[in-house]
Amino acid sequence: MTMTHRHEDVWVSTADPSVIGAVRRTAVALATASGFDQSRTGQVAVAVTEAVSNLVKHAVEGAVLVRPHVERPGAVELVAVDKGPGIADLARALRDGYSTSGTLGIGLGAIARMATGWDVYSVPGRGTVLVLHFTPDGLPGPPLRVSGLRRPIGEESVCGDSFAFADDGDAISVLVCDGLGHGGLAAHASREAVRIFMEDPHAPPAAALERLHRGLGHTRGGAVAVVRVGRQSVTFAGLGNISGWIAHAEGRQGMISLPGIAGHKGRRPQQYDYALPPHATVVLHSDGLTDRWDPASFPGLFAHSPAVVGATLLRDAGSRRDDACVVTVKQGQ
């Protein structure tokens, strides 16, 4: 399986109640385009409406994203984030009949049942991240292993960061590119990086990076990293300021990226091998996220799905003063 993310991630603030209808219409349009029947489309509409309504009523700095699922073709994904008040008793919130006002937990159990898959991470006083996905047949399929999220700088509509991945069954190869600068020319450079990477996505990371370095010379260039995540090891090659981490509940290990700009200047790419501990998450992100985040400050986060991990890091470590991209990979044990 190979996947590139060709859609812009359009994050919508939930400060205005009108977003409820707008997000519902987007979700219904995506479901219809993917062949959902009328009944299943109706379930998507109800679940999305309830989830976004909760954000509008109770969230602080809430934002929501609805898009085609990046790993499961034909599925629709909703990602919702906020910065408070959180859900103090998640188990209670998932029980039928729970309807205490003033919390994002209202109706969470019903929303989860309508979704094909869901995951939620909530810390009281720090906020909630909710991820739902819906398939036409409602069947869950294999565990999800990869997620990628992007967010453009400020009010820009185009993000200069891009990602792509390929899964050959044994290993998952991932590209992240941060096009130099912002706007259309940065986006062109990162999309060109995706095109070049996808010509041979399973090549060793150093070879892939060498090809990218040669191929981006007609663009602005950018920071680029390629990682291959196996069952017990990780191979990484980077040029520029793409951060690569192997993260788990106890801490994280950084991976080495060489200085330079792919397409313009830099030393000959080198790749480095690292052990992958059981249940670890591989995280790649552009400098639109600070690299000072600490797994210890996110209790229990790295037991969650790749999408929830990525959305939480984007919310808490991301900057609105730069394009941002984060990709998370879990191989499963």
Transcribe 82-140 into DSSP letters: --S---S-HHHHTSTT---SSSTTTTHHHHHHHSSEEEEEEETTTEEEEEEEE-TT---
Identify the pLDDT of residue 154.
87
As a whole number of Å, the CA-based R_g of the chain is 19
CATH level 3 topology of 146-329:
Phosphatase 2c; domain 1 (3.60.40)
Look at the alpha carbons of 316, 143, 300, 94 in this order and tell me if their dihedral is positive or negative.
positive
Residue 242 pLDDT level (bands cut at 50, 70, 90): very high
The alpha-helical segments, DSSP class H, found in 200-322 are 205-215, 306-317
Q: How many residues does the chain have?
A: 333
pLDDT of residue 101: 46
d(CA 320, CA 154): 5
**Closest to 118 (Cα-Cα) out of 151, 75, 160:** 75
Q: Specify the pLDDT at position 38.
A: 97
pLDDT reading at 185 higher than 60: yes
Question: Residue 258 above 60 pLDDT?
Answer: yes
Strand-pairing partners, residue 256, are none
What pLDDT does residue 102 have? 42
Split at pLDDT 50, 70, 90, the class of 3 is low
pLDDT of residue 313: 98
pLDDT band at 144 (very low <50, low <70, confident <90, very high): very high
* CB-CB neighbours of 10 under 10 Å: 14
Reported as a single tens digit per residue, the pLDDT across 67-118 is: 999 999 999 999 999 998 888 777 777 765 454 444 444 478 888 889 999 9
> What pLDDT score does 5 carry?
57
Task: Write the pLDDT tens digit of every residue in 275-293.
Answer: 999 999 999 999 999 999 9
Listed in order, the ranges of the chain carrying CATH 3.30.565.10 are 2-134
Between 189 and 107, where is the model more confident?
189
SS3 332: coil
pLDDT tens track for 42-63 = 999 999 998 999 888 888 899 9
Query: Which candidate, 141, 149, 197, 156, places its Cα nearest to that of 174?
Result: 197
Residues of the chain with pLDDT > 90, as a percent, come to 78
Quote the pLDDT of residue 136.
Answer: 97
Supply the pLDDT for residue 6.
60
Report whether pLDDT(7) > 60: yes
- Residue 307 pLDDT: 98
**Which range (90-104, 132-146, 164-178) has the least confidence?**
90-104
The CATH 3.60.40.10 domain(s) of the chain lie at 146-329
Lowest mean pLDDT among 3-12, 62-71, 106-115, 190-199: 3-12
Mean pLDDT score of the chain: 91
The pLDDT of residue 127:
92
- State pTM to two decimals: 0.94
Helix crossing, 183-199 with 205-215: angle to 10°? 130
CB-neighbour burial class of residue 255 (10 A; exposed 0-12, middle 13-18, buried 19+):
buried
The class that CATH gives domain 2-134 is alpha beta
Q: For residues 165-171, give the mean pLDDT.
A: 92
> Scanning the structure block, which residue is given the tokens 């812009």?
8
